[in-house]
Amino acid sequence: MMTCDLSRLTLMQMRELIDAGEVSREELVRAALSAVAEGDEVLGAFLEVDEEGALAAARAADNTGGQTGGVLDGIPYAAKANICSRRMTTNCASYMLADYRSPFDAKVVASTGSAGGILLGKTNMDEFAMGSSTENSAFHKTRNPWDLDRVPGGSSGGSAAAVAANYVPAALGSDTGGSIRQPASFCGVVGMKPTYGSVSRYGLIAFASSLDQIGPVTRTVHDCAAVLDALVMRDKRDSTSTSHPDSGRFSESVAASGEDLQGWRIGLPREYLGDGIDPRIREVVRGAADGFTGLGAEVRECSLPHTDYALPAYYIIASAEASSNLARFDGVRYGMRTEGESVLDLYLNSRGEGFGPEVKRRVMLGTFALSAGYYDAYYLKAARTRGMIVRELEQAFSDFDLLLTPTTPMPAFGIGERVEDPLAMYMADICTIPANMAGIPAISIPGGRVDGLPVGIQLMAPRFADERLLRAAAVYERVTGDRGANPSCPGDVPTEGVCDR
């Protein structure tokens, strides 16, 4: 099999070839490295690639025949640059941490390593995960493999682009308000935010601690389930970590799922199909609803009236938590240090030069919301609104097994199109934020095309119903056959290596 063909395989296809002895782990890693070398100078999905370490790990596994017994044994994958790893920098796409090398691996890196996964490199992101387009990276922009003039989404845009461009079959991202699902939608791949607390955040550099969750980006739902099997477990080093009733059984459950959803009840919240949603996106979602009906599910409209308040409440809560979490980067304890004539100057200079505009905007917003005289008016009110959203979703799940919505209100927008309009940028996450506010699992799977660009549909489930979510998504994917087909070359842009491998 040619190297270019190897890089296009799904994770489970790679697993079958390794098990059959038809391909070595080193061959798969070399194929991934070759794909990145050929195309990523244009695409910009990676910030760093560990060629030496990845090849060494692959050779060692080949020499021992693989000792993990895990589905990920020998599979190359990538991790977002806010997930700590000893062999590479963990810079959060920020000058503040430009040269930071963690002395330990994040729990998810250690877990995937124990399952045999081979970490190829660290992917680009919006600085400190604050953004929806991966244009806020301090180092370079990432482009969408479907159209290099468009964004891949954010903040896990590098991870989604790397999977969509066939560099790796899987990547890890973090999702605070949609940062896995939104870029998965824009790039035509699968992205999942698991139940909050089911995947350890130990070694994830925090943005908003009550919202952040690590999850997978893959090409298929089965691949997503296989990665989750390595990630979902309780970790005593994360105080929010919890045991999951289906831990280790996701891939098996997806493999055993049938081809219909008889008896399932799926809600279609009308607030997710109203003003602000591109009419073409609404058409895709209604088409998906018809698809689920054809699979035997009962699909009915429902109402989540507090949905409109999720976006403003989120940006107050997330910014407040960011203000607290990023206070440690002061030029003394952590991060870059720029000297001044006084300690205050040191703080101001270090943070002024180390943080980009979007991070500064959110830190100032959060500090204001927490300040004396404004706490009750802003933060406390946002926290109460969050409680109402949680209760509203819980009530909805007493009537429905799943909720079906758009993942994003529009297809991928142009690079630079929304940089000067923060509110328009924030609106890209309007459909994904409620799942983070409630801590429930949600997945984006390819749903169709708008003007040739992929768009995703989102499924949400109650807390700890991740397995239910994956089964429904797998059945839909299997029957519709839409796996977010590989992007074609976008016009006259010099894209050798991005699409034509």
- Determine if the peptide bond prior to 398 is cis (ω within 30°): no
Q: H or E segment at 6?
A: helix 3-6
Other CB atoms within 10 A of residue 248 CB: 12
CA distances from 123 to 17, 158, 387 (A): 26, 5, 34
Distance CA 378, CA 361 (A): 16
Q: How far apart are CA 65 and CA 25, in angstroms?
A: 10
137 is catalytic: no
- Which among 102, 133, 179, 251 is annotated as catalytic? 179
Active-site entry in 155, 159, 185, 323: 155
Catalytic residue of the set 7, 80, 174, 193:
80
Q: Tell how many helices (H) and how many strands (E) occur in the chain.
A: 17, 11
179 belongs to the catalytic site: yes
- Of the candidates 277, 273, 218, 275, the one whose C-alpha atom is nearest the C-alpha of residue 251 is 218
Q: Which amino acid is at 408?
A: T
| Amino acid occupying residue 345 | D
The encoded tokens of residue 151 equal: 């964004």
Q: In what helix (H) or strand (E) does residue 140 lie, and over which residues does it extend?
A: none
Looking at residue 84, the DSSP 8-state letter turns out to be -
User: CA-to-CA distance for 428 and 13, rounded, in angstroms?
Assistant: 33
- Active-site residues, by number, are 80, 155, 179
